Amino acid sequence: MEELAVGTRVDHPRYGEGIVSKSHLTVYEIFFERGGKIELTKYNPDLRVIAEPENKPRTGLTLAEVEEAISFVLDKYQAITQIVKIGDKWKGGSLIMKPANPDLQSKEVPVETFFHKIVMVRDRLRVLEQNINSHPNLTDEEKVEIQQYITRAYGSLTTFNILFAEKDDYFVGQKTK
């Protein structure tokens, strides 16, 4: 059902005709001829629109707009971590680091563990980038200068792009002109 505006006339099998007086996030406040003021969920299948107001006023945000805003804020502050997949050919594999000195022991690390660490580095660089961009005391010139270091760090990490399943997840450094 589409978002109902304040002033919309509705009908309900139990409460009769009514008028929407308030629209909250998930419920409508409706004054019915039988039952008085009642709050009904916006997803009530028994609610039927009789007539909408002529000049349908905007009554706050729709649920879809609230979801979009929350998603934007969580994404902006990295509260939603993006799911990054490792390439199938690396699953179950090992990274073996063997020192040149034969007297020293090799180190074996599951590729998934190593990949997870690389993704964490990328996520932390992104948070750092956002903190720099929103820092109130840095000038634009200082922000650009620091950003260049982050871009170079991304460039240094492009070696590890072979581990990613999707190209959209690749590290991208500074583009050559």
φ and ψ of 152, to 5 deg:
-65, -35
Rg (CA), the chain: 28
Per-residue pLDDT of the chain (177 residues; tens, 9 = 90+): 678 888 889 999 999 999 999 988 889 999 998 888 999 998 888 999 998 877 665 556 667 777 777 777 776 665 556 678 999 999 999 999 999 999 999 999 999 999 989 988 888 888 888 888 888 898 999 999 998 888 888 888 999 999 999 998 888 876 655
pTM over 0.75: no
Distance CA 115, CA 56 (A): 53
Place of tokens 């034969």: 102
Cβ atoms within 10 Å of 154's Cβ, excluding its own = 19
Cβ distance 147 to 125 under 8 Å? no
